[in-house]
Amino acid sequence: MRFVLLLAVLVFALPVAAVAQEPLNVAPIPEGSLTRDQLQRVADDIRRLEANPLAPDVREARARLITWVVESPDVHVTLCGAVLEPLMDTETEGNGYLTVQHALSMAAYAITHEGTPDRVEANVAGLRGMLGTYAALREAWGERAVHPFLEELATTDDLAAYVRPRLVNCD
């Protein structure tokens, strides 16, 4: 529950840079269980957010998506702080964006892989989404977005090898 509250604070407290991007136009997500088509639209919205983390309507989009993930009966995301610990141990601009995107990208993975997704693969998908957002932030913000942990992670060939031992701390 504390992590959910932290995510909510991060969603609403993040600055939005004045970078010319198209709005995301994330539609309100219906309550309750969703159809496969509706779930696919949510996953598509998450992917668009991943690629456009500085869109003019990003706060509203993030809020809608993370609220849906927390309340959804269809998708269950279990976050492991040990996976993101190196990110959270430093204060770098964009950490909040990246933490939220990790959770959202895990949800998109769960949507596109019906059933109970493999924990390692779900976290790898979360990291890939987070790294995509990191690349977009680096492009927009330059050096002020640089994070040594993410620079190293971006060059890792086997993200599963990074994730697997950290999940042991989350059982």
DSSP sequence for 53-108:
TT-TTHHHHHHHHHHHHHH-SS------HHHHHHHHTS--TTHHHHHHHHHHHHHH
When pLDDT is averaged across residues 99-107 and rounded to a whole number, the result is 95
Is 24 contained in some domain? no
Domain enclosing residue 148, as ranges:
2-14+47-170
Is 156 contained in some domain? yes
Number of structural domains found in the chain: 1
Q: What is the pLDDT of residues 20-68, one digit of tens each?
A: 578 988 888 999 999 999 999 999 999 999 999 999 999 999 999 999 9
Is 28 contained in some domain? no
Spatial distance between the Cα atoms of 103 and 19, rounded to a whole number of angstroms: 24
Is 40 contained in some domain? no
Q: Give residue 116's pLDDT.
A: 72
Is 32 contained in some domain? no
Q: What is the pLDDT of residues 119-144, one digit of tens each?
A: 999 999 999 999 999 999 999 989 88
Is 34 contained in some domain? no
Is 31 contained in some domain? no
